[in-house]
């Protein structure tokens, strides 16, 4: 039985890391951010550990820690290295499930020739697509869905992040023919306790089990 889930999004900054923290906390899963671009501020792994309440042994180390917060292909060039996409092999997660977060949106380049979506296609894991609820998200979401479908990547569903927008959420799910998994509201302040409580109210763990 597959126990690994990819968390991707319609864009950078949509809330994949916060969602991943909530999901890993809800499932008791491990977390992996294969390629981290940007080290000056809290990394995604550090954020998931803090907000998801994960012990350090549940965080799989990144394969690439690139200094510059930019597209990984460029951030790697600045660091004088090249992402070897052949090394992006799925780690064994042992007894626990594994939440894997991409970087930015689907068509983010890891190298001049390889997009993250190409890696998702190779992995053939189910994908949760994180999306905003505000104006502009319908286009971003339907484009992302189309790209995933074209590569026959299984979409578990859409996880919305932001304030309720019933018309937009239903338009995306109906026109994109994808499941509405839930909506994580915007939490201010954003704390581990508030996230974990809100996540339990927003999502159902059975949607992410027995994949």
Ligand X SMILES: Nc1ncnc2c1ncn2[C@@H]1O[C@H](COP(=O)(O)OP(=O)(O)OP(=O)(O)O)[C@@H](O)[C@H]1O
Residues lying near ligand X in the complex (CB under 6 A): 9, 12-18, 44, 103-104, 161, 184, 186-187, 190
Structure tokens at 48: 């998931």
What is the smallest separation between the CB atom of 11 and ligand X, expressed in angstroms?
A: 7
Query: Does residue 4 interact with Mg ion by CB under 5 A?
Result: no
What is the smallest separation between the CB atom of 7 and Mg ion, expressed in angstroms?
A: 9
> Measured in Å, how far apart are the chain's first and last C-alpha atoms?
7
Query: Does residue 169 interact with Mg ion by CB under 5 A?
Result: no
What is the Cα–Cα distance from 116 to 195, expressed in whole angstroms?
27
Interface positions, 67-96, toward ligand DNN (CB under 6 A): 69-71
Whether residue 101 is annotated as binding a ligand: the answer is yes
Pick one of 16, 132, 140, 183: the residue that binds Mg ion (CB under 5 A). 16
Cα-based distances in Å from 30 to 13, 52, 58: 22, 10, 5
Active site residue 33: yes
What is the Cα–Cα distance from 164 to 143, expressed in whole angstroms?
21
Q: Which of 8, 211, 209, 6 is nearest to 105 (CA)?
A: 8
Contact string 34-53 vs Mg ion (x = CB under 5 A): ----------x---------
Q: Which of 88, 91, 85 is nearest to 58 (CA)?
A: 91
Structure tokens at 124: 């053939």
Query: Which residues face 154 on adjacent strands?
Result: none
Q: Which one of 3, 33, 150, 200 is the catalytic residue? A: 33
Listed ranges 9-17, 48-56, 57-65, 181-189: which one lies at the site for Mg ion (CB under 5 A): 9-17
What is the smallest separation between the CB atom of 134 and ligand X, expressed in angstroms?
A: 13
Q: Which strand ranges, in their side-by-side order, compose the sheet holding 98-101?
A: 59-60, 30-32, 98-101, 4-9, 127-132, 155-161, 180-184
Nearer to ligand DNN, 12 or 111 (CB): 12
What is the smallest separation between the CB atom of 28 and ligand DNN, expressed in angstroms?
A: 26
Binding partner of residue 71 among ligand X, ligand DNN, Mg ion, none, CB under 5 to 8 Å per kind? Answer: ligand DNN
Maximum CA extent, the chain: 46
Whether residue 200 is annotated as binding a ligand: the answer is no
Query: Which residues face 31 on adjacent strands?
Result: 59, 99
In the complex, the residues that contact ligand DNN under the rule CB under 6 A are 12, 37-38, 69-71, 103-105, 108
- Just list the catalytic residues: 33
Q: List binding-site positions.
A: 13-18, 44, 101-104, 193
């Amino acid at each position: 039985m597959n126990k690994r889930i990819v968390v991707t999004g319609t864009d950078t900054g949509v809330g994949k890391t916060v969602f991943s923290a909530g999901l890993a906390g809800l499932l008791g899963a491990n977390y992996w951010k294969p390629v981290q671009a940007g080290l000056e501020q809290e990394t995604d792994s550090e954020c998931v550990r803090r907000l998801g309440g994960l012990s350090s042994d549940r965080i799989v180390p990144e394969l690439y820690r690139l200094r510059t917060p930019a597209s990984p292909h460029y951030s790697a060039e600045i660091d004088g290295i090249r992402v070897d996409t052949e090394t992006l092999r799925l780690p064994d997660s042992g007894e626990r499930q594994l939440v894997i977060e991409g970087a930015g949106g689907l068509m983010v380049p890891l190298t001049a020739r390889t997009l993250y979506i190409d890696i998702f296609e190779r992995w053939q894991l189910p994908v949760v697509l994180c999306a905003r609820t505000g104006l502009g998200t319908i286009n971003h979401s339907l484009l992302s869905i189309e790209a995933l479908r074209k590569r026959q990547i299984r979409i578990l569903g859409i996880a919305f992040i932001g304030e309720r927008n019933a018309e937009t959420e239903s338009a995306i799910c109906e026109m994109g023919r994808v499941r509405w998994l839930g909506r994580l509201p915007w939490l201010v302040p954003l704390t581990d306790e508030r996230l974990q409580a809100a996540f339990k109210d927003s999502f159902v763990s059975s949607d992410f089990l027995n994949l």
